[in-house]
Structure 1
Amino acid sequence: MAHEDHVKTYKVFVNGVEKVVDHEVLTYEEVVRLFIAQPVEGTIYAVSFEHGKEPKEGELVAGQSVTIKQNTEFDVDDTGRS
């Protein structure tokens, strides 16, 4: 049987809004861009998550990433300027 080439997608939620991504590891920067298409320069965003694959829950800061699964939930807040 031939192996089908298809891209797996993951449904995640950012502040309750459904988003679809095509890879299993999301970086802090990618999550912020899902929240706001054009992040404000110099602004710090607080990113927390739950229902992840590894780790299951926690917080992300710049430079970190999380392995997601279907329906991982992110909460992103603008904490103001650095």
Structure 2
Amino acid sequence: MAISMLYFAWVREAVGTGEEQVDPPEAVRNVADLIDWLSQQSDGHAAAFAEPARLRAAIDQRFVPLDALLGNAREVAIFPPVTGG
């Protein structure tokens, strides 16, 4: 399943890009699995995803917890917690 990944803020800086296409193995079932798999793809990914508790996610533009199933996700966004002012 091909997924369009979007990265924001310091996650984007660590990974080195704001967007990429990935094709994770079938064993990747939820966002946490995806983060774990991505962290093995490069040093930048490993740095960005070293502390998953600091990350938030959205599947197809809907906020989800990290244990959310990917299902037929076309887009997954990973970003730091959102704060307001």
TM-score by length of 1: 0.54
Measured on the aligned residues, the alpha-carbon RMSD in Å equals: 2.9
Structure 1 unpaired stretches of 5+ = 1-9, 51-56
Structure-2 change in CA distance of 1:40 and 1:25 (3 Å) = closer
The structure where strand makes up a greater share of residues is: 1
- Matched residues, percent identical? 8
CA distance, structure 1, for counterparts of residue 25 and residue 52 of structure 2: 28
Which residue of structure 1 lines up, in the alignment, with residue 63 of structure 2?
Answer: 59
Which residue of structure 1 lines up, in the alignment, with residue 2 of structure 2?
Answer: 11
Q: Give 1 or 2 for the bigger CA radius of gyration.
A: 1
The structure where helix makes up a greater share of residues is: 2
Report how many residues are paired.
63
TM-score by length of 2: 0.53
- For the 8 Å contact 1:13–1:74, the answer to whether it is kept is yes
